[in-house]
Amino acid sequence: MSAKHDLFGTHSDWLTHTLDNANASLPETKTVLPDGTRISRKSVGVLDIVPPAKRNNPNAEAIIVSAGVHGNETAPVEVLNGLVSELFEGAWELACPLLLILGNPPAMVAGERFMEVNLNRLFDSAHGRSEYKGLTESARAQFLEEACRQFAMANPQALCHYDLHTAIRPSLRERFALYPFVEGRKAPADQCDFLLESEVETLLLQHKSGTTFSSFSSSALKAESFTIELGKVRPFGQNDLGRFSGIRDALRRRFRGQPAPSVQAPFDRLTVFEVVHEILNTGKNFRFHVPDDVANFTEYQPGTVIWEDDETSYRVGHSPEAIVFPNPLVPVGQRVGLMVRPGRFQVPAR
Ligand SMILES: [Zn+2]
């Protein structure tokens, strides 16, 4: 029997196994590839992969990659599944420990963003709040946090986490990354290089810590983490994976422990935005003046009223601001969108 059969049975790959077992609770199952790489399927959609002990890890790193935290964001799931298939086929040798995660399998099967509640708001222990008790996504968030904690403890190397998404809306900037807020830190130069290598040319610095997956790994595990938006939501099989070759090739290069490309991208290609205002649904007759079909990074001129309620309103300040993630259909207290503007560009230190 092959190693692939050990983990995925008669399924053709990791993704089909995950979709067909989305609601099953399967025991941890392990296998070893012919080259000695050990792979453990810790749960449906979660693979812990350890290269042979004698192999060098030249970049001295351990990497977590997650996709499908929103179930309908299929392209990054297909990209990650393709890299796992390559590894099983022996197409290349793995150099660093990996934790690979398909975040929300039941939602992936349903073709929905989530089943009961947005999984990407349940991290950093938010899953324990009373309003989320007993929900499918709460149990998954708790499990994923624990899997990441164990991975971080087992791998004292520099830890990185890339949480891959695609956006519901069109975006004037096709690919962009969010850097979770951690007091006093700056995005390192090698991470900015990796974003550019992945054809991600926009970086949004978050202004406060949150309950997203990447916020959790940044704050609780001290990882260099990014939420990366790679294009537009489409159903499985309808993605043009050619548009995702940048992230695929860059991740594969990291997985193999190869050095960064010798010609480093100029930092001035990376446009950095900072958050100037977080729009919350105040519930007090909240009115949102951004149209439903507006693209991410659409710019508004100074003085434009963005939202108001019975007590207050928000106007764009002295320079233009752009909207990111507008979505008025969220519960009271939750985020309706972010107003951002180009930050004072700080070239990361080399
Ligand atoms: Zn998403």
The model's pLDDT over 295-315, given as tens digits with 9 standing for 90+, comes to 999 999 999 999 999 999 999
Is 201 marked active-site? no
Compute the distance from residue 89 Cα to the ligand 1 centre, in Å. 29
Compute the distance from residue 228 Cα to the ligand 1 centre, in Å. 9
Q: Which of 11-20, 108-117, 183-192 has the lowest mean pLDDT?
A: 183-192
Torsions phi, psi for 184 (to 5 deg): 80, 0
pLDDT for residue 258 is more than 90: yes
- Name all domains of the chain by residue range, CATH numbers in brackets: 3-256 (3.40.630.10), 276-342 (2.40.50.630)
Per-residue pLDDT of 199-213, as tens digits, reads: 999 999 998 888 999
Which has the higher per-residue pLDDT, 347 or 170? 170
Per-residue pLDDT of 26-44, as tens digits, reads: 999 999 999 999 999 999 9
Q: What is the 3-state secondary structure (H, E, C) of the chain?
A: CCHHHHHHCCCCCHHHHHHHCCCCCCCCEEEECCCCCEEEEEECCEEEEECCCCCCCCCCEEEEEEECCCCCCHHHHHHHHHHHHHHHHCCCCCCCCEEEEECCHHHHHHCCCCCCCCHHHCCCCHHHCHHHCCCHHHHHHHHHHHHHHHHHHHCCCEEEEEEEEEECCCECCCCEEEECCCCCCCCCHHHHHHHHHCCCCEEEECCCCCCCHHHHHHHHHCCEEEEEEEEECCCCCCCCHHHHHHHHHHHHHHHCCCCCCCCCCCHHHCEEEEEEEEEECCCCCCEECCCCCCCECEEECCCCEEEECCCCEEECCCCCEEEECCCCCCCCCCEEEEEEEECCCCCCCC
Compute the distance from residue 310 Cα to the ligand 1 centre, in Å. 31
Q: What's the pTM value of the predicted model, to 2 decimals?
A: 0.94
pLDDT for residue 345 is more than 90: no
Compute the distance from residue 73 Cα to the ligand 1 centre, in Å. 6
* Catalytic one of 61, 224, 229, 321: 229
The pLDDT, as a whole number, for residue 346 is 55
Torsions phi, psi for 312 (to 5 deg): -150, 175
> At 343, is the pLDDT very low, low, confident or very high (cuts 50, 70, 90)?
confident
Compute the distance from residue 10 Cα to the ligand 1 centre, in Å. 30
The arithmetic mean of pLDDT across residues 138-148, rounded, is 97
Per-residue pLDDT of 198-255, as tens digits, reads: 999 999 999 888 899 999 999 999 999 999 999 888 889 998 999 999 999 999 999 9
Per-residue pLDDT of 50-64, as tens digits, reads: 999 999 999 999 999
